[in-house]
Amino acid sequence: MFATGELINMTDLPTASDHESPRVVEARERAEQRVQRQRDTLRPLGLAVIVVVVASAIAERPSPAFQGTGLGVTLALVAFAGALAQAIRGGFIARHLWFQSAVITVMGAAGAVLVALQPQGATDLAGGAAVWMALVRLPLKLGVAIGIAVGIASVGAAALAGTAPVALLAATLLLAMLGFIGFFMRQSRANQDRIELLLAQLEDARDEQTRAAAIGERSRIAGELHDVLAHSLSAAAIQLQAARKLAERDQATPPMRAAIDRAGELVRDGLADARQAVGALRGDELPGIEQIGSLVTSFSHDLNAKVNLTVEGDARTIPPDAGLALYRGVQEALTNVARYAPGATVDIRLRYDTDFTTVTVENRVSPGSDTQAAEGLRDVGGGRGLAGLRERLERVGGSLRAGPIDKGWRVEVVVPA
């Protein structure tokens, strides 16, 4: 009513945490925005109260002056108008509690002095403004204490000035009514904001419950995949090892032995991929761009190959799906080098651009291995490795380019990041 606009003390809400969800933060922001809108709406009413009290003080006797009792009226009027003007400013609610308490106390004291000096005017309105402000702005216990003190001072000053008992009762009821209305409106707004906050927390809890259920289901599926695929693929790998030994014993043709070796590689790759898929379902951390260095080191050590890794641009964190796609791109390119161009020199360039991150893998075969490289390069890309990688990249908005270069092969993987 008196332009505080603060129908809820934000301290009535549960304390904010550094780990709140965006939904809860948004609920708190809405509460603060409502407070500010209320203050903006009621500010003209606060100015009107100042005008009414000043006009009434000028019209009554003793009127404001610079000497005698009139000087007291002037000082009380200036103190009240200044305090209320300060209270309706936009930044008042951000000031420290002691400052707000002092401003409201000065307002109430000035109102009591005006009542004592001009008991016949509209000076009761000054005390009512202070009571309202105390109940809606300050913590409850402090606000009640200041409101009661202002009420007692105003009614006592009126009684000492000889105000009739009926008028004293009317002034008391006015102050009490303003205090109770302010209190109930404060509680209503506090409950509204608290309900919004609890609803936001409930939505967070539901999301967390859904995630927990999804993780549980994924764990169950992961267990089934592990039990089925790991057993089946492991058994297939053992059988292929036995078949290879039989082929060697019976002196099978080279194409037959090559086919068995290739099948063994596929089974081992499938087993590794199955384990990674199971890990993904269980929520295990998947490899990303940060693990490319370890992949290169492992490849170079295992195959005694010369691999050069160059990083261009400022390293940054990229989305997990994009990082995994880049890692798989390097992994697939190195696998193809091992299969089709053993002994080749490999150059890997990781480049961070403004909107994209690119990995380029180039392998070049030494002059003494031209025939071997040519035979291998004819089959590159004929399987599902590059096709599967291209599909993975398309899902994250990336692209793949692969093709021959002078005495070698190039694979370029690009992701938006």
Q: List pLDDT tens digits, range 23-57.
A: 888 888 888 888 777 777 778 888 888 888 888 88
- Does residue 291 contact residue 331 with C-beta atoms inside 8 Å? no
- Give the mean model confidence (pLDDT) for residues 80-105: 88
Q: Are 116 and 108 in contact (CB under 8 A)?
A: no
What pLDDT score was predicted for residue 284? 65
Q: What is the pLDDT of residue 4?
A: 41
Query: 52, exposed or middle or buried, with CB in 10 Å at 0-12, 13-18, 19+?
Result: middle
- Cα distances (Å, whole numbers) of residue 78 to 83, 117, 156: 8, 14, 22
CA–CA–CA angle 380, 386, 387 (5° rounding): 120
Question: Cβ contacts of residue 70 below 8 Å, gap of 6+?
Answer: 62, 63, 64
Report the predicted TM-score, pTM, of the whole model to 2 decimal places. 0.49
Residue 375: the pLDDT is 43
Which pLDDT does position 16 carry in this prediction? 55
Q: How far is CA 378 from CA 330, 368, 413, in A?
A: 20, 18, 21
Phi, psi of 358 (to 5 degrees): -125, 140
- Secondary element (H or E) of residue 11: none
Q: Which of 351, 338, 347, 333 is nearest to 289 (CA)?
A: 351
Cα(267)–Cα(354) distance, rounded to whole angstroms?
40
Q: How many residues in the chain?
A: 417
Joined together, the tokens standing for residue 120 give 């016949």
CA atoms of 325 and 331, how far apart (whole Å): 10
pLDDT > 90? residue 106: yes
